[in-house]
Structure 1
């Protein structure tokens, strides 16, 4: 049985960062990963270029049962701190829309950087560790796996959520949380395409059509980005954002003409004196502001109940607040992240340590803190990892 100061479970974004920070504090660290390579989700992120942070990151970009929990860690380690690390390694980057930062070349550079940081801290990395099991109490943890048995005074759980199971995702973080008496907010797919059924199934005939819209679900914020119709339902950045707030049985609302501000501007030609008021004129107005196939479909399913001004007003309001009734999501297989997770009430927001179990830490996606699309979830991984890495 080999002894360490710290054992980190999971060599993803959060685990790699935490192990590096702890190791560089002269802690003897073992990083345990059940996959055959570290950072697998980093490698596929951002289309292979890794959207590693967002310069506009604030606590408002995160969802949690406790919206204040993430503030301490995010203030401790900001996007500028990670960017400094990226530039120190000579990694070229660029900013896309809405403050999203990507590697110019490959996400592999981020993984190599984190591994180099682990090496600087003399972290021992153990890959292909199967059958991970944990025993112990405060300050004395034993980890057993296919590679042997190890003990440490501190244990950091960074095994991620349930999203993208083909990349090795498991529910280990939730099992360990419950094993040590912590509550878990029910995990659910987030940043995930939505499936349409019933009468709305006809929308999938528009698969491939994209439009700039505003979308919101429930009491969540409005997201102004692209909507994409798929062969199963709705996707695109705007829908993925709203999906994190959506619950089964709820409606999502789409404004198909977000630039048509002010009552009457969209269908003004139909309202004017002598204006043509019929289905052909209605479709022409929609085609002026929307992709042709989308305009044609909306002209059919959203036609006014008549051609009076009141009917035209109602049709326009509907176009600006179109209700969809998703039958579900495409599940964890297509979800970019997992919402829910280890209940933050049981964690110290400054250190990520379990309040009732000294020496036990939970970081990253497995915690009930979920970011918006656009680099925010990576920033949470870095920030929560540094918070724990400086404490273990």
Structure 2
């Protein structure tokens, strides 16, 4: 039986794949969308606590990590958060801006999934799922045919093939390295993937010492000790101590930068936690140096009381302020403004929000995400080595990269 021809076949019906399919279909392309899942849009559904943090008010290339940090600029500039908001408003979907410019649906994430599915339907996109891809091969000879896709539901040929299969984070939702293997099949390099936006594990001795603080959250600022080959990043949000290590938004944010160190030469550096951001701890303590109160009680004026007491015990800072020697006061201040912690690793892909690394962007066009050496082959979304911060940035990359490819296929 001969294979049916489509102008475009898209592998993966997540955020990027659905958006690209709708855009290509709206341009009159005959589009086939394939996915292994029975229910589409699960990552969208569970995001943002079920409200879908669909973008961020302020998006720039500085909010993304990549071995080629300028790659994402073109796509992000051509499809912006305002463009996606316009889609929501045309649909009548209410949304709200929260802290740090994060944009959420007012009702439910299902509003976004339904909008994308309806856009595909309107554009005449054919969807087949669940569907397992057995092989992908290049084809030539017949006019317009470049690829053949063989699955357990049939085989099809196409002029353009878009890979939107995502990364390997959240394996319980079916994440797999399929997209990476496909890239390598066509001779395209892959930056080794790593868990990103992920809680950090701690060595047993540190974990044991912090055990009394499990469940305590503190507002702080995280950053990496200087590393010339790893981009900077400072994040002021909550740090949460858990029974397995450190979590909370400020830790998830810095975890991606901590993981980036693996791509650079030299040993990993510890992360630093500033417990008193915007405060010179030494000056603040010096102003109270005559106090007979225990240091922990003084710190409890600025930090959660339980945290202040356990943190002081951890560091051996158990004396009243007026009994601290000058060198001890300096040590306390340095620890408060730069508490150094060396994680033992991460809690892995099961707890990660996204994947760091992916298809090497040096092999792709920044204009439309097409492989330079393989005409007609596109990679979009999380499968590409572009990883956003927490706060809607990864969805914005899905929309922007899907839009860019959707205009080109």
Q: Which moved more, 1:218-227 or 1:93-102?
A: 218-227
CA contact (8 A) 1:133 1:145 kept: yes
- Taking the aligned partners of 1:240 and 1:313, their CA distance within structure 2 comes to 29
Could you give the per-residue CA deviations for residues 343-366 of structure 1, whole angstroms, max 9, x where no partner exists?
Answer: 000000000000000000000000
Q: Which moved more, 1:373-382 or 1:203-212?
A: 203-212
TM-score (ref. length: structure 1): 0.95
- Taking the aligned partners of 1:254 and 1:132, their CA distance within structure 2 comes to 47
CA contact (8 A) 1:185 1:343 kept: yes
**Superposition pairs for residues 328-367 of structure 1, below 5 Å?**
328-367=345-384
Match of 2:66 in 1: 64
- Taking the aligned partners of 2:105 and 2:280, their CA distance within structure 1 comes to 37
Alignment match of 2:295 (pick from 275, 282, 294)? 282
Does residue 387 in structure 1 map to residue 378 in structure 2?
A: no
Match of 1:180 in 2: 186
Does residue 216 in structure 1 map to residue 215 in structure 2?
A: no
Listed as ranges, the gaps of 5+ residues in structure 2 are 263-267
- Taking the aligned partners of 1:133 and 1:108, their CA distance within structure 2 comes to 32
Match of 1:206 in 2: 213
Match of 1:65, SS?
coil
Match of 1:384, SS?
helix
Does residue 189 in structure 1 map to residue 195 in structure 2?
A: yes
TM-score (ref. length: structure 2): 0.92
- Taking the aligned partners of 1:205 and 1:64, their CA distance within structure 2 comes to 37
- Taking the aligned partners of 2:19 and 2:186, their CA distance within structure 1 comes to 24
**Superposition pairs for residues 63-142 of structure 1, below 5 Å?**
63-137=65-139, 140-142=146-148
Match of 1:300 in 2: 313
- Taking the aligned partners of 1:12 and 1:267, their CA distance within structure 2 comes to 55
- How far residue 131 of structure 1 moved from its aligned partner, in angstroms, is 3.8
Does residue 230 in structure 1 map to residue 230 in structure 2?
A: no
- How far residue 137 of structure 1 moved from its aligned partner, in angstroms, is 5.0
Count of aligned pairs between the two proteins: 386
Match of 1:246, SS?
helix
Could you give the per-residue CA deviations for residues 49-83 of structure 1, whole angstroms, max 9, x where no partner exists?
Answer: 10000011111000000110000000010000000
CA contact (8 A) 2:369 2:404 kept: yes
Q: Which moved more, 1:244-253 or 1:41-50?
A: 244-253
Match of 1:391, SS?
coil
Could you give the per-residue CA deviations for residues 217-270 of structure 1, whole angstroms, max 9, x where no partner exists?
Answer: 35431101111111101000000000001137431110111142364114531x
Does residue 320 in structure 1 map to residue 332 in structure 2?
A: no
Q: Using a 3 Å threshold, how does the CA distance of structure 1 residues 351 and 316 change in structure 2: closer, same or farther?
A: same
Listed as ranges, the gaps of 5+ residues in structure 1 are none
Match of 1:116, SS?
helix
